[in-house]
Amino acid sequence: MNDDVHIIGAGIHPFGRTDGRSGRDQGVFAVRAALEDAGIEWGDVEYAYGGSAAAGSADIMVNELGLTSVPFINVANGCATGGSALAAARNAVAAGACDIALAVGFDKHPRGAFNAKPAEYGLPDWYGETGMMLTTQFFALKIQRYMALHGISRRTLGLVAEKAFRNGTLCDHAWRRSPVDLDTILNAPVVNDPLTKYMFCSPAEGAVALILASAKKVRELGADAVRIASIAFRTRPEGSFEVFAPSIRVGGGGKPTEIASRAAFEMAGIGPEDVSVAQLQDTESGAEIMHMAENGFCADGEQEQWLAEGWSEIKGRMPINTDGGCLACGEPIGASGLRQVYENMVQLRGRGGERQVPNGPKVGYSHVYGAPGLSAVAILER
Amino acid sequence: MSARVPIAPGLWTDEAEPRLIGGRRADGEIVFPMPDGDAAARVEPALLSRQGTLWSWTTQGFEPKEPYSGPQPFQPFLIGYVELPGEVIVETRIVDAAPADLVIGMAMIFAVVPFDDARSIYAFRPERQP
């Protein structure tokens, strides 16, 4: 095993809504951008992994990209599709199977909340018929209890969303590019109490592609590379509280995010205090708050002070969701986790422009969470 | 209400004071609902307590997409988790309460209530203190 694996190219198709362009074509767009960024040709890619949740298989992209006989493995892993593609691509390079690999994720969802089918999640029909099977309810139920236990205010939920939209105005791949003020966020219609419509992200469209390379290839190409210090992907442990749970264990249990985070830090040989910039899953405002603690960046309840003092702002002590996160970018499931890694690439290479984190950030942390209870963490080092 | 049929069989008992039917796994952990098919192997039905405490709650103010099949026009409802001490925390409708009434940890009691004109559903309501 040679675990010295780098990202040498990153490409994105702007998130949001792009009528007339399929999800997969957005993926092709992102791959071409990543190849150009890496300074290589499609024919140089030796292994490819990719997929979407709702926009079809990735391997058909070879029709547009070129019939080079590249082994192209479709990944269909729900909310972890992008993260799984990245982990697989890294492992292929680390194992010595190739020197250059592609990870690509894309998606294109209908408007409105996701509607999950009970049988696909091993649940009885009545669970869906009675209106209990909504991801938005889960996030509201989780943050409602968290707020009561740890003294988080509604205002703090609003501050998270306000920050996201403010950062989105500075980001060319974001969907929501206009600021929204705190009063508007707090007084908007409630989706699921305590969360208003501005506190939730929306299903969207978009694509991200990353080119991975061995250390040998980085030297050969003289690439502007960022090293992957670690990737950890974990599913839920016993007793965890996740989406689509008709019952949960008294007293609770572990959390997939805590487990993935600890594993990623251990593998990288660093701790939360070493991170310069973080992209955390913010399906809604409360998720960012809870994930700050679950990833080890603060203790439960300290988020109240973090948001009040602006510590997670771009110029704060530990910037979080510098591109506006899911709240400003929307959530194309297959691409969302890779967007976080893309944004860390931008920041660590110092290409953030108006949203650049100051003082040359060295360590970028990304965390994606999704149904039915999984988390993937990637740590990049410059 | 007696004319209504349960939204699904096997969720609660048919008795004067009905109880939810959970399942006790071989390791002693209780789950709800009782699993079916192969997942039911080594799981024994367990009748659950009618009394518990509010673990969390939220509102459902917009009409869910299908497979939701509630009454038309859409009526907003409350949903939450109720902890049945020593047993399990169950997800449930919450009835006879407004958001302002709800406090995490408050006492709740089991009820069977109408879902639509033809079907009934299980729920919990705040237990009124005498």
Which three-class secondary structure string do you get for A235-258?
Answer: ECCCCCCCCCCCEECCCCCCCHHH
A98: left (phi over 0), alpha (psi -120 to 50) or beta: beta
CA distance B56 to chain A (A): 5
pLDDT under 70: residue ranges of chain B:
1-2, 129-130
Torsion of CA B102, B108, B112, B115, to 10 degrees: 20
Question: Between B29, B55, B58, which is nearest A137 by CB?
Answer: B58
* Structure token digits, residue A121: 């999640």
Q: Which chain B residues have a beta carbon less than 8 Å from that of A248?
A: 81, 88-89
Q: Which chain B residues have a beta carbon less than 8 Å from that of A249?
A: 29, 88-89
DSSP B48: P
Q: What is the pLDDT of residues A41-70, one digit of tens each?
A: 999 999 999 999 999 999 999 999 999 999
Q: Which domains does chain A have, with CATH numbers?
A: 5-111+201-381 (3.40.47.10)
pLDDT under 70: residue ranges of chain A:
1-2, 113
**What is the model's pLDDT at position A1?**
58
DSSP A166: H
Question: Between A122, A128, A141, which is nearest B58 by CB?
Answer: A141
Judge contact between A165 and A179, C-beta under 8 A: yes
User: Rounded to whole angstroms, what are the CA distances from B126 to A318, A362, B50, B103?
Assistant: 43, 53, 12, 10
**What is the model's pLDDT at position A116?**
78
Query: What's the CA gap between A66 and A103, in Å, rounded?
Result: 16
Kindly determine whether residue A130 and residue B68, on different chains, have CB atoms separated by under 8 Å.
yes
**What angle is formed at CA A78 by the lines to CA A72 and CA A82, rounded to 5 degrees?**
50
Q: Which chain A residues have a beta carbon less than 8 Å from that of B93?
A: 130
CA distance B59 to chain A (A): 5
Query: What's the CA gap between A295 and A303, in Å, rounded?
Result: 13
Count the helices and strands in chain B (H runs, E runs).
0, 9
A-B Cβ pairs (cutoff 8 Å, strict): 107
Question: Between A144, A145, A190, which is nearest B61 by CB?
Answer: A190
Instruction: Choose from A120, A126, A146 for mutation: most chain B CBs within 10 A.
Output: A126
- Residues of chain B whose beta carbon is less than 8 angstroms from a beta carbon of chain A are 7-8, 11, 22, 29-33, 36, 39, 55-62, 64-70, 77, 79-81, 83-91, 93, 99, 104, 115, 121
Distant-in-sequence contacts of A72-78, Cβ < 8 A, 24+ apart? A72/A48, A73/A47, A73/A48, A73/A49, A74/A50, A75/A49, A75/A50, A75/A51, A75/A105, A76/A51, A77/A51, A78/A53, A78/A333, A78/A370, A78/A371, A78/A372, A78/A374
Alpha-carbon A56 to chain mean position: 20
Kindly determine whether residue B64 and residue A134, on different chains, have CB atoms separated by under 8 Å.
yes
Instruction: Choose from B12, B24, B43, B58 for mutation: most chain A CBs within 10 A.
Output: B58
ipTM of this predicted complex? 0.95
CA distance A130 to chain B (A): 6
Q: What is the pLDDT of residues A110-143, one digit of tens each?
A: 877 677 789 888 899 999 999 999 989 999 999 9
**What is the model's pLDDT at position B1?**
46
Judge contact between A145 and B55, C-beta under 8 A: yes
Judge contact between B67 and A117, C-beta under 8 A: yes
Kindly determine whether residue A190 and residue B121, on different chains, have CB atoms separated by under 8 Å.
no
Residue A352: closest CA among A228, A171, A209: A171
Kindly determine whether residue B56 and residue A144, on different chains, have CB atoms separated by under 8 Å.
yes
The HSE-up count of residue A6 (CA atoms within 13 Å, CB side) is 22
Nearest residue on chain A to B7, judged by CA atoms?
A126
Kindly determine whether residue A125 and residue B8, on different chains, have CB atoms separated by under 8 Å.
yes
CA distance B79 to chain A (A): 8
Amino acid at B94: I
Query: What's the CA gap between A125 and A22, in Å, rounded?
Result: 32
